[in-house]
Structures are given as structure tokens and as C-alpha cells.
Amino acid sequence: MSTDPLPDLAEDFVPFATAALDFHRTLNLPTAQIAAGRAELDALHAHVLALYGLLGSHTARTAPVAKVEGDHLRATRIRLWQAADHLHDAFHAAPHADGRLLSREACRARLPEGAPGLTICRRHLATAVRVRRDHTPADLHDPVTGLIRH
């Protein structure tokens, strides 16, 4: 399987993105102890899957030339998918503004609920196709991923 060469990333891209997240966290999170709403969970899911994609690019570039580093990036990518899966579940556990819950069957059947209702489900299912192609079921369920700590 060959992949096209990746474009060079601006060296300040990741620190800039991290600073933007820090800025968002300090200015936009409520100080009261309240549960994250569906829109916040949807946004967090989008961020985690974007990071999953970014790590995929770095893994593809690194693994052929540095096996140990590539293995660790791959393990990180698996953990990000696991985090996204939990965020997807949290989204379904969170009630709508009117208090009703979305059924898992509605998600699986891709029943339209309107934006942003099932945006998270479409994104999650689309990424799941790539996850199943890139990782084995054993990889996804192994809590250690078989890596040896150096």
C-alpha cells in the first residue's frame, strides 16, 4: 500500500492549534459545575477525530523510517479513536434540551435529526470505516497495544 507524500507541515502548526484550544478553554468554559452539552460533546468529538487524522499522517510518514516511534504514534492514534468512541457514547447519554434521549438505533440507522443532531454520528461512522481498515479488532481492544516501554 503506497501513500502519496505528505506536504511539509508548518513547524508552528501544532503549537498554534494547541494555543487556540487553550484560548478556547480559558474563555469559553463555564465555571459552574454543569454537564457538557450535546453541542460541546459534538465539538470535542470533531477535535479528537481531527487529531486522529493528523496523527495518521505523522504515523504514515514516521513508521517506515523509525519503527519504534511509528509504533508509539500508532498506539496514540488507537487511543484517540477510543476517546472518540467514548465521546460518541457520551453524546448519546446527554439529553436534548427538552430532556429526551436519542436512541442508539437512530444513530445506527442514520435517521436524520437535523444539524447538529447526528453530525457526530455521521462523522463517527465515516471514521469507523478508516479505523477498521487501519487497525485490527485486537489492536482496538488491547489496553496495552503490545508496546515495550523503552
Instruction: Assess whether pLDDT exceeds 70 at residue 91.
Output: yes
CB atoms within 10 A of CB 96: 12
Instruction: Give this prediction's pTM.
Output: 0.72
Mean pLDDT, the chain, integer? 77
Instruction: Assess whether pLDDT exceeds 80 at residue 22.
Output: no
Q: Can you list the pairs that 56-64 forms with residues at least 24 positions away whose Cβ atoms lie under 8 Å?
A: 56/130, 56/134, 57/6, 60/3, 60/6, 61/6
